[in-house]
Structure 1
Amino acid sequence: MRGNSMNALQPRPRIAWALGGGGARGFAHLGVLKVLKEARIPIDALAGTSMGAVMAVLFAAGTDLKYLTALATTIAWENFVDLRFPRYGLVEGKRITPLIRLLTKRKKLEELAVPVRVIATDLLTGDEVIFDHGPLDEAVRASISIPGIFTPVPSGQRLLVDGGLVAGVPVNAAAEMGMELVFAVNVGGELDTEPPRSVFDILYRSSEIMMRRLDGIQMEQAAFVLTPEVGHVGTVQFNRAEECIEKGEAAAREALPEMRRIIEEYQGRRERERAVGERV
């Protein structure tokens, strides 16, 4: 009955989804997207960072979610990590792009049925780089390039790395897509509460704190933020994909009433504004 009431007021608000980065925790997005699709919660646009970008482009390209779930839980992800110890990172990432290309049927961003923005960071200027056209695999490869792990991606005068440095949960990019509401999915990790054991730990923890604060500022601008309980999963624990997917699905199902309430309130407010305008 609740779903019917959502359709009582027309037109419904268009919703842009901001899918955050988090490495293996990003598999939770699959569970979230499955529930949204089943419940007919609108997905009118997507903005993604890092693993969120991967899931955004795969969904928008029409890749079957059941197939993606099976792939995520059975694939030997270590086969896609080419450890060649290049100068600027441990992983070149060249094996990942063919997989993205295959799953998206070589589509370009501008060819997707659902508009998508992919977020990266220019290592030379510190600027946020938003891909809205061009090959999907190139945009995704840049967005997932965690500094020090994946090698940066040259692009014209830019040197691109993980979008999480500037927008771990890309709410601002989603807000610029012209939709009425922005919903976000946060799959960030838990902050380590153990004392740092090395200089590297101190530097990593410091950067993590800064990025968390930036993400918090962006998420405050979203109409709704969904946070699946995956913070305990490590960034590279890809063997826990099934657990993350289940957590994403559970969080989304629990949040359905709240999401519908927000949509209905927006519809009601717009309907009242329309009625007032007609009387004036």
Structure 2
Amino acid sequence: MLDIKIINFKFKTMKKISLVLLLISFTGILAAQGIGLAWSGGGVRGLAHVGVLKALEEADIHISYIAGTSSGALIGAMYAIGYSAEEIEQIMLNQAWLEILDDTIYRKDYYVSQKRWLPYSNINFYFDEKYRLQLPQAFAAGQNLINLLFDFTYRAAATKDFNSFNIPFRCTATNIVTGELKVFQEGNLHEAIRASLSFPTVLKPFAIDDSLYIDGGILSNLPAEVVRAMGADYVIGVKANSYLAKQEELNTMIDVLNQTVNVNMQKHVQSSEKQCDLIIEPDLVEFKLLDFDKKKQIIQIGYNSAQKYIKQIKQHSLKPKFAKLYTPVPYKIRIADINIKGNKHLSSSKIKEYLDLSENEVYSKTEIMKAVEEVYNSKLFESIYP
């Protein structure tokens, strides 16, 4: 396997598309302060945020700012770039999330010469150059996930300033090297979300530029301070975070590790609650981090929880000067750059031949994703994503 860590496309849309996105960003921003949402992580429990959104939309409550962590970052980002609550609900319900977290490449997608060396497990161990056994960083590398996030955020691919979304947005991640909190307010949106989603042991840490990130919830699982700093004068915190397990539930190494992470998260959440004017806490005690078979039930619980506070929230809601405009999805985009890192055995030009995409050429989302999938299936590369 070649030591090629990342192939990262950086692109911009054609001028017509850029103009449309620019006009939308101007009409979607309100000068006045208003309601800000601070959304916690919590794995599948984060789908409660979708239910909260449904209740707010039904009541015609305008949101001026959103900051989210982990699953809260994913839901918040989608709403910020123009998805409706109903659209988000359908997308979340229709995803086979456990399959997405499984980065297995099926036999039919391998070259014939590779099939005899296929691993028989989704979790594989390797030896480094000095023949030392290497354990994986997590159960899932996240290759399928990063491509799915690109699909979700494709409509905002040309917008690097998160203030320019329909609703200004932030998400958090933890720099695992420095131990510092990172608040993403610009860059590639799907990369920022992927970094924020990197829950220890479940998803591999994610590299952006020269930094390595894990779940933002480690240091800020309820980013109320962040949304307050954005300008919100009424902050609603929505808690879908994990609960501490009981002693009889701590039976495995993974249980203990997750509890260790959650103890730290709880400490920071309690501090963040002081920055909230209202806290909505859906009753999600019975749900686990990966209870994906209970998605619809969790969304309904989030909806019911928000309904109790609608009258109170409406008192602080600003009426938008313009009706909410949804970002149009560009049919094709122009690839500006193809960046290759970590290549030791092949030249960059040879790697680009494998990819079969060219800089300064225009492609549809389908064409880009097909090329990415085919190159990753070669197993010559550790990671490739748009």
Partner of 2:239: 186
In the alignment, which of 194, 197, 201 is matched to residue 144 of structure 1?
197
1:145-195 Cα deviation digits (max 9, x unpaired): 011211111122311010010011111111110221211100023322233
Structure 1 residues 226 and 199, CA gap change in structure 2 (3 angstroms): same
Q: How big is the shift at 1:205?
A: 2.3
Q: How big is the shift at 1:109?
A: 5.0
Which structure has the greater CA radius of gyration?
2
* CA distance in structure 2 between the partners assigned to 1:102 and 1:60 by the alignment: 15
Is structure 2 residue 109 aligned with structure 1 residue 55?
no
Q: How big is the shift at 1:85?
A: 3.2
Segment of structure 1 superposing worse, 158-167 or 91-100: 91-100
Partner of 1:88: 137
Q: Any runs of at least 4 consecutive aligned residues in structure 1 with deviations exceeding 4 A, and if so which?
A: none
SS state at 1:184 partner = strand
Partner of 2:286: 232
In the alignment, which of 304, 307, 326 is matched to residue 253 of structure 1?
307
* CA distance in structure 1 between the partners assigned to 2:311 and 2:236 by the alignment: 14
In the alignment, which of 147, 150, 171 is matched to residue 118 of structure 1?
171
User: What is the TM-score when the length of structure 2 is the normalising length?
Assistant: 0.62
* CA distance in structure 2 between the partners assigned to 1:182 and 1:77 by the alignment: 30
Task: Tell me, yes or no, if the aligned pair for 1:153 and 1:160 is still in contact at 8 Å.
Answer: yes
Task: Tell me, yes or no, if the aligned pair for 2:160 and 2:187 is still in contact at 8 Å.
Answer: yes
CA RMSD of aligned residues (A): 2.1
After superposition, residues 127-142 of structure 1 pair within 5 angstroms as: 127-142=180-195
Segment of structure 1 superposing worse, 123-132 or 90-99: 90-99
Where structure 1 has 5 or more consecutive residues not aligned to the other structure, the ranges are: 1-10, 265-280
After superposition, residues 166-205 of structure 1 pair within 5 angstroms as: 166-195=219-248, 196-198=250-252, 200-205=254-259
Segment of structure 1 superposing worse, 173-182 or 43-52: 173-182
Structure 1 residues 117 and 109, CA gap change in structure 2 (3 angstroms): farther
* CA distance in structure 1 between the partners assigned to 2:281 and 2:152 by the alignment: 27
Structure 1 residues 252 and 123, CA gap change in structure 2 (3 angstroms): same
Q: How big is the shift at 1:138?
A: 0.3
The alignment covers a number of residue pairs equal to: 254
Partner of 2:147: 98
* CA distance in structure 1 between the partners assigned to 2:235 and 2:145 by the alignment: 29
SS state at 1:233 partner = coil
Structure 1 residues 12 and 131, CA gap change in structure 2 (3 angstroms): closer
In the alignment, which of 38, 51, 68 is matched to residue 18 of structure 1?
38
1:73-129 Cα deviation digits (max 9, x unpaired): 232222211345363111111212222222222414524111000110000011000
Which one has more relative contact order, counting CA pairs under 8 Å at least 6 apart?
A: 2
Task: Tell me, yes or no, if the aligned pair for 2:282 and 2:301 is still in contact at 8 Å.
Answer: yes
1:21-59 Cα deviation digits (max 9, x unpaired): 000000111110111122122310100000000001111
Partner of 1:267: none
User: What is the TM-score when the length of structure 1 is the normalising length?
Assistant: 0.84
* CA distance in structure 2 between the partners assigned to 1:231 and 1:135 by the alignment: 34
Equivalent position amino acid for 2:140 in 1: V
SS state at 1:140 partner = helix
SS state at 2:66 partner = strand
Task: Tell me, yes or no, if the aligned pair for 1:26 and 1:51 is still in contact at 8 Å.
Answer: yes
Structure 1 residues 109 and 50, CA gap change in structure 2 (3 angstroms): farther
* CA distance in structure 2 between the partners assigned to 1:121 and 1:206 by the alignment: 16
Equivalent position amino acid for 1:27 in 2: L
